[in-house]
Structure 1
Amino acid sequence: MSDTRAGRLGVGVIGAGRVGTVLASALAGAGHALVGVTAVSDESRERAEALLPGVPVLTIPEVVERSELVLIAIPDAELPDLVSGLAATGTWRPGQIVAHTAPGYGIAVLEPAQRAGSIPLAIHPAMSFTGTSLDLTRLAETYFAVTAPAPVLPIGQALVVEMGGEPVVIDEADRAAYAEAIDTARSFSRSIVEQASGILHGIGVDQPGAYLSSLVRSAVDDALSAER
């Protein structure tokens, strides 16, 4: 599954959404081998073909069976049932790295896989994804929340660095608060921009999003600089 270079892994991706495909592409760029991806909808298949050309589209059990590193990038609500369901069928393997990207979960949700001997990692990039190659450049300025058992924490941190990001350790007990902060920043930013765009559109300004772009970016940069 892995190639002959030290530290290179056979990576399988569960979920060909915006996050999973971009992170998988970044891992491939770091030299890891992509062994399979799951993609159900036409949109996800098209995204996989665009960002992960040549990577076979497989079922979830097939992806897990072939992978040394399983990257799970699915909606948060689906994660517990997926992990426990695969554990019930004996799919997880000893020594296999299992990493998810859900902001609200740490490694406790991966306990069924850990019981089978898998290595649990929670790795969340604090970034809004487009699901295109543009995201690969943006990873270079993105922080990742990493939660893992202490002995394997360096594995999660190393994977983040390989993807171009900056790892930040978040304790298991703090994942809920972390997720709240991420959701607040995302939803507040979106709602404010939509409100302002609506007002400008109402007074006849064409392309209000483009009009606000420089203002919003500079205002956010100023606010973030004040917090450093």
Structure 2
Amino acid sequence: MLFAVTRISEAGVGLMSKPSVAVVGCGKVGSALALLLKERGYPVVAVASRSPGPAQKLARSLDCSAYDRPWEATLKADLVFITTPDREIAPVSELIARQGGFRSGQVVAHTSGAHASSELHGVQEAGALAVSIHPLQSFADVAGARENLPGSYFALEGDEAAIPVARQVVDDLQGHAFIIKAEDKPLYHAAACIASNYLVSLMHLATSVYGRFGLSRREAFEALYPLVRGTINNIRRVGPVEALTGPVARGDVPTIAGHLPALDQVGNRESRLYRLLGLYTIQVAREKGSIDAGQARQLEEVFMASANGEDVSKSKEVSS
């Protein structure tokens, strides 16, 4: 059955019946996705993994078949998710294609944020449709992924005929879909890394600094987390510009000047990062209108003057 072009109602509600699903890659993303799709009424008929243990464990939870040859799993489904690590998407797709594991009428999706659907080598040549469906969400573990996926946003990119199918999947996961161009995916993913991964790095840095005056990492986290939570709540309520507070937002040069030598004692890398973030924050404060051009120049001067007199804005590397 040519699932990909199954008729969609005039109201755009979605596919008339849910397609059979196979998942290749039984890590956090693949496992969470398979379990959620089954809960939403999708027949998950097969899972595959290079390591038999994870596939068999997931298959028991789904009451489906597990395979170590991915092409045997993909042949059983109308909708295939390849949820391997990014670097393995192309070689796994090529392997499946060589073994005849794709067929006309299938929709084949990967879940990478950085790569376009063109990474699915051999899919279109087999008459199937290729699409990328990236959940804009972090996955620390399977339980957290199952909890966080509903309500998340998903970036869709790929064959035009596959987009309605991808939208229906997102709708059934209680998510929100938007379309992105293939050439925009690297920049899209970089911004996602800033919002998620580097937030983790900033918390690691802040808790490490608190350790300098005797707090354990757990104590430092417990002390800082209410501040972070309050900041996130403010961002959600009024947006990132209006949520800005602190010495840069006030144009408080003396306070910033006091921070810098203290951070210089922590380390060159930490001090440089603080300065670079401060320089960016000046732009946010100017957009907010909380400082004028003169205050901005004063702040720039203090941030750009490092401990050894080097201009941090022209630094070639942020390392010690």
- TM-score range for the pair, normalised by the shorter chain length: 0.7 to 0.9
Aligned to 1:204: 214
The one-letter code matched in structure 1 to 2:63 is G
- Mean Cα deviation higher: 113-122 or 175-184: 175-184
Aligned to 1:121: 131
- Return closer, same or farther for 1:84/1:21 CA change in 2, 3 Å cut-off: same
Q: Please give the secondary structure, in 1, of the residue aligned with 2:92.
A: helix
Q: Could you report, residue by residue, the CA deviation over 1:81-104 in whole angstroms, capped at 9, with x for unpaired residues?
A: 111222222221111110100111
Aligned to 2:256: none
C-alpha distance in structure 1 between counterparts of 2:37 and 2:56, whole Å: 19
CA contact (8 A) 1:145 1:167 kept: yes
The one-letter code matched in structure 2 to 1:142 is S
After superposition, the CA RMSD in angstroms is 2.6
- Choose the corresponding residue for 1:217, options 211, 214, 229: 229
Confirm or deny that 1:86 pairs with 2:96: yes
- Choose the corresponding residue for 1:189, options 176, 199, 204: 199
C-alpha distance in structure 2 between counterparts of 1:46 and 1:173, whole Å: 37
C-alpha distance in structure 2 between counterparts of 1:131 and 1:55, whole Å: 22
C-alpha distance in structure 2 between counterparts of 1:43 and 1:143, whole Å: 31
C-alpha distance in structure 2 between counterparts of 1:227 and 1:110, whole Å: 36
Q: Could you report, residue by residue, the CA deviation over 1:93-135 in whole angstroms, capped at 9, with x for unpaired residues?
A: 1111101001111222225211101111100001111333343
TM (norm. structure 2) is: 0.63
Describe how 1:12-161 pairs up with structure 2 within 5 A. 12-41=22-51, 44=54, 48=58, 52-59=61-68, 60-161=70-171
How far does residue 69 in structure 1 lie from its aligned partner after superposition? Answer: 1.0
Q: Please give the secondary structure, in 1, of the residue aligned with 2:178.
A: strand
Q: Please give the secondary structure, in 2, of the residue aligned with 1:205.
A: coil
Aligned to 2:176: 166
- Return closer, same or farther for 1:48/1:221 CA change in 2, 3 Å cut-off: farther
C-alpha distance in structure 2 between counterparts of 1:196 and 1:42, whole Å: 41
How far does residue 222 in structure 1 lie from its aligned partner after superposition? Answer: 2.7
- Return closer, same or farther for 1:171/1:216 CA change in 2, 3 Å cut-off: same
CA contact (8 A) 1:21 1:131 kept: no
CA contact (8 A) 1:98 1:118 kept: yes
How far does residue 203 in structure 1 lie from its aligned partner after superposition? Answer: 2.9
| Uncovered stretches (5+) of structure 1, i.e. residues with no partner | none
- Choose the corresponding residue for 1:226, options 223, 229, 239: 239
TM (norm. structure 1) is: 0.87
Spell out structure 1 runs of 4+ moving beyond 4 A.
40-43
The one-letter code matched in structure 2 to 1:145 is A
CA contact (8 A) 1:47 1:131 kept: no
Instruction: Give the length in aligned residue pairs.
Output: 225
C-alpha distance in structure 2 between counterparts of 1:41 and 1:148, whole Å: 29
CA contact (8 A) 2:82 2:108 kept: yes
CA contact (8 A) 2:28 2:145 kept: no
| Uncovered stretches (5+) of structure 2, i.e. residues with no partner | 4-14, 242-320
- Return closer, same or farther for 1:47/1:212 CA change in 2, 3 Å cut-off: farther
Work out the percentage of aligned pairs sharing the same amino acid: 26
CA contact (8 A) 2:26 2:49 kept: yes
Q: Please give the secondary structure, in 1, of the residue aligned with 2:102.
A: coil
CA contact (8 A) 1:16 1:47 kept: no
How far does residue 42 in structure 1 lie from its aligned partner after superposition? Answer: 7.8
